[in-house]
Structure 1
Amino acid sequence: MNTPVLDATPAAAAAHRSWPAEGFTRAPYWAYRDPALYALEQERIFRGPHWHYLGLEAEVPERGSYKGTFIGELPVILTRSEDGSVAAVLNRCAHRGNLVVREPFGKTQKLHCVYHSWTFSLKGDLLSVAFRNGLRGEGGLPKDFSMAEHGLRKLRVATICGFVFATFSDDTPPLEEWLGEVADGIRRVCRDKPLKVLGYDTQRIHANWKLYHENPRDSYHANILHTFYGTFGLSRQSQESGMVLDASGRHVYFYTKAGTEKDSADYQQTAAALRSHNAGLALEDTSILKWRDEIGDGVSIQILTTYPSFVLHQIANSLATRQLVPRGPDECDLVWTYFGFADDDEETTRMRLAQMNLVGSAGMVSVEDAAVCEMMMRAIGDGATGESFIEMGGRELDGGGNTKLSERAIRNFWHAYRQDMRI
């Protein structure tokens, strides 16, 4: 009896799925659960033609400094190389695939694999191989072995305002061209000032990475879900706000200006019914609400997301990046890096540190985002049935205009995702 040979590639395994006819206004729940689709995402998105955030230049301040990080599931090393430039290489020895760097941060003159002592430069060039020529005329590598052909896999690297991005693709447009109009949101927050790291926080979220990616793109949930925002006025739907997407729809930022409330009668009626408005809550110490308008444009909150895994936030005077790392179809890590500026005085640094309590894995605002993602994952179950309905603000990619009261950015995400995944 002959056993049929099946095409077991991720692309073939995912091909039996059919997207809803409504297109990007729907997200089928199998898209969050299908292991074959997840494997294909690693190839077409994370190793595909996109820029991925690696860290801050300030995290590798000196020659020889390095940071271990990820693009998708692949480990990557960010280095400050011998000539002072930043570089990125795959954290996988070219010999037998061992990790070259195990620590999250460090400083070294060379990258050294402990398994068989292959040694690489900080840019990934192979420098030496133990026993390359054998001993006593025996063993060793073939005579035609080329050192130049067996370095670490090098990535393209680019920076903007002290943020380091990398891509596996030679065809991806330059970083700022790829970011489009959303690059202005990065410049607005950082103003080309040298950055200073204030701390880290990493959380494991028991949900598919796309559920979290949707969350910071979802501008209209903030004033409904987050009790702290609505109750204490840091962000309300009645305040002046807006949304900016790049031309491709892959990247977005939205902003809110505290203290600009225009509470119409219909808003007051709606707000009164929201659980996020809780007049019974009070703060013993209200200093966390005191923010300084450093930029001078009145924006109290800006949330910026680039496709597929980077978030930059300014919440009052708290500044942080969030790096989304998929850990299988059912889990992801969120790495928070809090920062300020090198010229911040002590009072400003204390203010940023205090307002860090608003965000992160236990933040008075952000804790609810991870919780909702995990609740959705449980509700989705095996993903065999059901789909999200994404029509707030319209059914088009530009539906809803620039208002925050829209799911426009989520529709654009699914449009870009389907283009990449070819589904």
Structure 2
Amino acid sequence: MSAASPQSATASANPTAPLSEPFEWPAEGVTRAPYRLFSDPEIYALEQARIFRGPVWSFLCLEVEIPNPGDYRTTTVGEIPVVVTRHREGKIHALVNRCAHKGALVCLKKKDNVATLNCVYHAWNYELDGRLKGVAFRNGIRGHGGMPADFKVENHRLQPLKVEIFCGMVFGTFADDIGGVESYLGDEMANFIKRNLGRPLRVLGTHSQIIHNNWKLYAENLRDSYHATLLHTFYTTFKVNRLDMDGGIILSDRKWHHISFARRAKMTEAEEYAQSKVHSANYDSALEGPGLLEAWEEFDDGITHSIQTIFPNLCVQFTLNSLAIRFFAPRGVDKTELFWIYLGYERDSEEQSNMRVMQSNLTGAAGLVSLEDGCINEFVQRGTRTSPQSASFMEMGGRQVASEKQSRATETAVRGFWQGYRGIMGF
């Protein structure tokens, strides 16, 4: 992890602090992204303040991951450690995982079930809603030591986040004046999440990986339908997802969320694939286990592949019958942690659950499709870090930032990300 500079620490504490080196976006607007954005520790620290502590809803966990009173799940908002708890009466809380005494982490496990939250350093004890419950040796020993007479337990607690649950997903924010999650998503985005997640869920498996690139490069990658069947050989070879399938891109009103969708049954082979003009079309392979690609029609809209992103760092994916949530967390200016949660529905039969588990092999750290994503963004990180004054070029599909419901040979969703990013960062 790259160490933050003294200026970046200032930027993190004060979102209005200026950068030590002035930053100006190229005149071409969101068709360009300055390479400096991926390697500047001051900008990275400013993002922690303006985005992750700012007016966004961040995905924290799934409600089904903490089903019982006393359950907790640790996560982060940006780099800020957070713990999500279910209180005894069933209400879910999100708290900064930092003791009010010396700042130590309070919850050390990924998940657990506890009666209260206890800091191992000095045994400060908290209720599941973050209120301070007890302080060890508060009254000292035999009349000596202890806290001052004016010390009040109620003045010290774990910092709370505002919490809202939508389609089984727990979201949190540090912004008091932000609207609800559904209004943050907008109607089209909210309805598509309801399509995929709007019924009782079952967790089928999880894993995570570290990728060595700035978090925004992965945010771009998820929105980049242009690369999907050029880089990912498996997609093209086995006709899981190709640009010549019927499909399109939907952007939210603010452009920073998106949906990319394709219909496997509707494909008119493009010249680039037919004449093997791209490397991903140069293979004539077969599967020893063709059952991997079998699927049942789950929805009446014909969509067999979709990637939906929610700014800043959430993705809901649906491929054949594999349903998953991806979310990613910055771990430094050039390091990102990527998490995968594979899902089914409570109503699924055993056969359906087994098929979803089998199809989960398509994605993930060693997935047949997404294996390449674990390294491609590092190639960009390594290629751009020495040229902060240069910028990427993003004019595939034109220069506009708008939905494109007839084609996915476009970078409109990537431009949408940068439009939203510029707005919240003030660039």
The residue number in structure 1 matching 2:410 is: 406
1:306 is matched with 310
Change (3 A) 1:125 1:249: same
- Aligned match for 1:99, one of 91, 95, 105: 105
Q: For 2:308, what is the secondary structure of its paired residue? A: strand
* Amino acid of the structure 2 residue aligned with 1:184: N
2:77 equivalent in structure 1: 71
> Aligned residue for 2:14?
none
Equivalent position amino acid for 2:401 in 1: L
Equivalent in the alignment of 2:195: 188
Quote the Cα distance in structure 2 between the aligned partners of 1:401 and 1:59.
35
Task: Quote how far apart the aligned CAs of 1:7 are.
Answer: 7.2
Gaps of 5+ in 1: 1-5
Write the distance in 1 (CA, Å) between the matches of 2:403 and 2:300: 30
Deviation of the 1:403 alpha carbon: 2.9
Contact 1:238 1:267 survives alignment (8 Å): no
Match of 1:82 among 83, 88, 96: 88
Q: For residue 3 of structure 1, what is the aligned residue in structure 2? A: none
The aligned counterpart of 1:37 is 43
CA distance in 1, matches of 2:351, 2:405: 39
Q: Tell me the TM-score normalised to structure 1 length.
A: 0.94
**1:408 & 1:23 partners in 2: Cα distance?**
13
- Partner of 2:154, secondary structure, is helix
CA contact 1:53–1:163 (8 Å) conserved in 2: yes
Structure 2 distance, partners of 1:18, 1:105, is: 43
| 3-state SS in 2 of match to 1:363 | coil
The CA distance in 2 between the partners of 1:159 and 1:287, in whole Å, is 36
- Counterpart of 1:417 in structure 2 is 421
> 2:36–2:385: 8 Å Cα contact kept in structure 1?
no
State the partner residue of 2:154.
148
User: Once the two structures are aligned, what percentage of the paired residues are identical?
Assistant: 43
CA distance in structure 2 between the partners assigned to 1:235 and 1:355 by the alignment: 14
Identify the residue that residue 375 of structure 1 maps to in structure 2. 379
C-alpha distance after superposition, 1:298-351 (max 9, x if no partner): 211111101111111111111111111101111100011111112221111110
Amino acid at match of 1:54: L
Structure 1, residues 40-77: CA drift from partner, whole Å, max 9, x if none? 11000011110001111110010001111111101110
SS at match of 1:338: strand
Asked if 2 retains the 8 angstrom alpha-carbon contact of 1:394 and 1:400, the reply is no
- Residue of 344, 350, 357 corresponding to 2:354: 350
Structure 1 residues 363 and 288, CA, compared in 2 at 3 Å: closer, same or farther?
same
How many residues were matched structurally? 415
Deviations along 1:75-116, one digit per CA (max 9) or x if unpaired, are 110111121021110100011101000000100010111111
Q: Secondary structure at the match of 2:278?
A: coil
Q: Which moved more, 1:399-408 or 1:22-31?
A: 399-408
- The Cα of 1:422 is off from its aligned counterpart by 1.4
**Counterpart in the other structure of 1:397:** 401
CA drift of 1:384 comes to 2.7
Taking the TM superposition and a 5 Å limit, the aligned residue runs for 1:209-288 are 209-263=215-269, 266=271, 272-288=276-292
| Match of residue 321, structure 1, among 325, 328, 353 | 325
Partner Cα separation in structure 1 for residue 129 and residue 216 of structure 2? 32
The separation in 2 between residues aligned to 1:401 and 1:296, in whole angstroms, is 18
Equivalent position amino acid for 1:185 in 2: F
* Residue of 17, 21, 30 corresponding to 2:23: 17
The worse-fitting range, judged by mean Cα deviation, of 381-390 and 345-354 is: 381-390
Question: Secondary structure in 2 aligned to 1:417?
Answer: helix
Give the one of 136, 141, 151 matched to 1:130: 136
Helix, strand or coil at the partner of 2:266: coil
Question: Which AA in structure 1 matches 2:240?
Answer: L
| Structure 2 unmatched ranges of 5 or more | 1-5, 12-16
Are the aligned partners of 1:91 and 1:101 in contact in 2 as well (CA < 8 Å)?
A: yes
Q: Distance in 2 between matches of 1:241 and 1:136?
A: 75
Name whichever of 197-206 and 394-403 sits farther off: 394-403
Corresponding letter in the other structure for 2:338: L
Instruction: Give the conservation status (yes or no) of the 8 Å contact 1:14–1:37.
Output: no
Deviations along 1:156-200, whole A, 9 cap, x unmatched?
11111111110011011110000112111211112x211111111
